[in-house]
Amino acid sequence: MRMVSDVAFYHFGLENMLGHKLSQMPAQALEDVQRFVLALNIDGCPLFKSTGLSAWPVLACVTNIKPRVIFPISIAVGVSKPKDLNFLVEAISDLDKALREGYVFNDKQFTVHLQCVICDAPAKAFVKCTKQYSGYYGCDKCCQKGFYIGRMTYPLISLFNMRTNTSFRNTSQPEHHKGLSPFTRLPIDMIEDFPIDYMHQVCLGVVKKLILRWIRGPIGDGRLSATQVSLISSNLQSLRPCIPREFARKPRKLEDIDRWKATELRQFLLYTGQFVLKDVLSHPYYNNFMVLSVAICILVSEEMAFNYRDYAHQLLQHFVSKCKDIYGREFLVYNVHSLVHLKKEVEKFGCLDKCAAWPFESYMQTLKRKVHCGQNPASQIVKRVLEENECKSEYSYKLNNQIYTKKPDNAYKIASGKYCEAVRRVTENSFMCRVYHSSEALFERPCDSRTLGFCMFNKHNYAMKTILRKDLVKRCLKFEMENQSVFLPLLHDFSQQNR
């Protein structure tokens, strides 16, 4: 290790790491592959609460092969963030070479494509050498000048000029820039290839901001009483038995919000919020939350995002402008504003999970767990990564196509569009199921819930049928409420398991 940018630094090298990872893959994984599509992630990750020590790895993910491969190209570790961007120089040189010359593995030539660089907002501004989101020209997607009301806000929801690769590289709006980013050396789009990461900006950003507003905001003005907060908490906890194994965490109390992880905020936004807030949050606030929830449900779903993106965009514009009415114009901070730019990400990447930080976050948590406080944690990390390179059996195909017959894992959507619970295996490839009929809408605003596949049934409206394994196509959450059974197909990419 050596000192770069005033922090301890180690360069693993793109070629070297990619070679190690590919040699651990099952041979058939590369059979039809001609190119490697990379996503990059740069973010500071605190190593131990007690020491203030953080790691700044440059992580790469090969997104077009399965199982997904993630590895560090380099890593910087220090008590403060790197003082400049010199810690990126070698990773960017490696990328430059790979993008130009491609990559040879086992005598086969592959091309290399850099699809995106995923960062949270502060890290993105840092690596792009631009003003932070708290500055007047801090939006990385549009040129609108912020409006300062004790904090920077971005009030426009349409009719702004978008930044482009050309305008960025020409420094057309000098107030946006602080210097020359080393990324400009690469043949990439300096705007479109740095997507909005909905894990940070929507889940940890907007959803958490909303919840904090409800429980700790100004009295009146939509703030919940202590009784209402504990009612929501007990609603959340009552759903714990219904949460299937795809979720690493079960719902916990709203009072624990400061410790909620991004996955818990996603679970609340997509699946549980609509139930636990109903009849507790007053109408304008509940309806406003539902507009956000439905829009993001659409945009995370690989099946719906592209086709319904215009509708989701209208919902998000409506959400942001309503936020101004009900929470005040100081609510329209950068994260809330950036919702109106999400449609563009879906147009480029397909759905929000394709350009989000989940898999990187998960990789870093795994790495962190292997490092212990004490002597030289930086070199401990480097050693762990190098040891993993030598491990030959790291990857194995674990395609989980098991069908479960016990609650809460046995709710499925059937190929025919119906919903069922598998209750018993009949043969190797068929299951006895309770198949529900006569669906009702779970909610009707802002649209019929069945548009998202969210359906409600009278719990007696079912018939026992034998269903083939191949027809049990989609895992669902199933909630039971008095006389009703509610099915919610899982919309997010749950192969990106997160803790």
Binding site for Zn ion (CB under 5 A): 139, 141-142
Residue 339 Cβ vs Zn ion, minimum distance, rounded to whole Å: 10
Q: Report the residue number, 142 or 455, with the smaller CB distance to Zn ion.
A: 142
Residue 184 Cβ vs Zn ion, minimum distance, rounded to whole Å: 21
Please report, for residues 74, 187, 192, 200, 354, the alpha-carbon distance to residue 99 in angstroms, rounded to integers and kept in the order given. Answer: 18, 8, 17, 28, 21
Q: CA 409 to CA 421: how far, in whole Å?
A: 9
Q: Report the residue number, 142 or 236, with the smaller CB distance to Zn ion.
A: 142
Q: CA 127 to CA 106: how far, in whole Å?
A: 34
Please report, for residues 9, 227, 251, 255, 257, the alpha-carbon distance to residue 233 in angstroms, rounded to integers and kept in the order given. Answer: 44, 10, 9, 8, 10
Residue 356 Cβ vs Zn ion, minimum distance, rounded to whole Å: 19
Q: Report the residue number, 139 or 297, with the smaller CB distance to Zn ion.
A: 139
Cis bond upstream, residue 195 (ω within 30): no
Query: What b/e string do you get for 93-111 counting C-beta neighbours within 10 Å, with b at 16 or more?
Result: bbbbebbeeebebeeeebe
Q: CA 82 to CA 44: how far, in whole Å?
A: 9
Residue 139 Cβ vs Zn ion, minimum distance, rounded to whole Å: 3
Q: Report the residue number, 11 or 200, with the smaller CB distance to Zn ion.
A: 200
Q: CA 41 to CA 63: how far, in whole Å?
A: 12
Q: Report the residue number, 141 or 434, with the smaller CB distance to Zn ion.
A: 141
Length, in residues, of the chain: 499
Residue 142 Cβ vs Zn ion, minimum distance, rounded to whole Å: 3
Residue 144 Cβ vs Zn ion, minimum distance, rounded to whole Å: 6
Q: Report the residue number, 76 or 196, with the smaller CB distance to Zn ion.
A: 196
Of 110, 99, 100, nearest to 36 (Cα)?
Answer: 110
Residue 81 Cβ vs Zn ion, minimum distance, rounded to whole Å: 25
Q: CA 337 to CA 138: how far, in whole Å?
A: 11
Of 314, 312, 293, nearest to 304 (Cα)?
Answer: 312
Q: Report the residue number, 97 or 344, with the smaller CB distance to Zn ion.
A: 344
For the chain, the farthest-separated pair of C-alpha atoms sits apart, in whole angstroms, at 68
Q: Report the residue number, 195 or 217, with the smaller CB distance to Zn ion.
A: 195
Q: CA 62 to CA 71: how far, in whole Å?
A: 9
Residue 335 Cβ vs Zn ion, minimum distance, rounded to whole Å: 11
Question: At how many degrees (to 10) do helices 89-101 and 14-23 cross?
Answer: 60
